[in-house]
Amino acid sequence: MAFAPVFHSEWIKIRTLRSQIASLATILVVTALFSALASSDTGGDDFDPLFSVFFGVSFGQIAAIAFGTAAVSAEFQGGALRLSLAAVPRRGRWFAAKATAIALPVLAVGLVTGVVTLLVGRAVLGTKADGLGWAEQVRGVVGCAVYLTLMALFAAGLTALLRSGAATLGILVPFLLIVSFVIGDMSNNIADLLPDRAGQVALHDTWDGAMGPWTGLAVTALWTAAALAAGAWSVRRRDA
The DSSP string of 5-57 is HHHHHHHHHHHT-HHHHHHHHHHHHHHHHHHHHHHT---STT--HHHHHTTTH
pLDDT of residue 24: 96
Q: Distance between CA 123 and CA 201 in Å, rounded?
A: 23
Average pLDDT value for the chain: 90
Q: Which segments of 88-212 does DSSP mark as H helices, in order?
A: 91-125, 134-162, 165-174, 180-186, 195-199
pLDDT of residue 48: 87
Angle ∠(25,26,30) on CA atoms, nearest 5: 130
Q: Which amino acid is at 198?
A: A
Judged against a pLDDT cut of 70, whether residue 42 lies above it is answered with no
pLDDT of residue 177: 83
**Count of other CB atoms within 10 angstroms of residue 233:** 15
Instruction: Domain ranges for the chain, please list them.
Output: 3-237
Q: Distance between CA 220 and CA 197 in Å, rounded?
A: 9
Contact present, 30 and 62 (Cβ < 8 Å): yes
Confidence of residue 10 (pLDDT cuts 50, 70, 90): very high
Tens-place pLDDT, residues 151-194: 999 999 999 999 999 999 999 999 888 877 777 666 567 778 89
* Confidence (pTM): 0.93
Tens-place pLDDT, residues 145-161: 999 999 999 999 999 99
Confidence of residue 209 (pLDDT cuts 50, 70, 90): confident
pLDDT of residue 62: 96
pLDDT of residue 140: 96
Average pLDDT of the segment spanning 212-219: 94
- At 238, is the secondary structure helix, strand, or coil? coil
User: What is the H or E stretch that residue 202 is in?
Assistant: none
Contact present, 73 and 164 (Cβ < 8 Å): yes
Judged against a pLDDT cut of 90, whether residue 98 lies above it is answered with yes
Residue 102: φ, ψ to 5°: -85, -45
Higher pLDDT, 143 or 87: 143
Contact present, 153 and 103 (Cβ < 8 Å): yes
Q: Distance between CA 235 and CA 129 in Å, rounded?
A: 47
Task: Look at residues 181, 190, 182 and name the one whose alpha carbon lies nearest to residue 211.
Answer: 190
Judged against a pLDDT cut of 70, whether residue 240 lies above it is answered with no
Q: What burial class does residue 61 get, using C-beta atoms within 10 Å of its C-beta: 0-12 exposed, 13-18 middle, 19+ buried?
A: buried
pLDDT of residue 139: 96
Judged against a pLDDT cut of 60, whether residue 202 lies above it is answered with yes
Residue 119: φ, ψ to 5°: -65, -45
Q: Distance between CA 111 and CA 144 in Å, rounded?
A: 7
Q: What burial class does residue 135 get, using C-beta atoms within 10 Å of its C-beta: 0-12 exposed, 13-18 middle, 19+ buried?
A: exposed
pLDDT of residue 186: 62
Q: Distance between CA 48 and CA 40 in Å, rounded?
A: 12
Indicate the range of 72-86, 107-121, 225-239 predicted with least confidence: 72-86
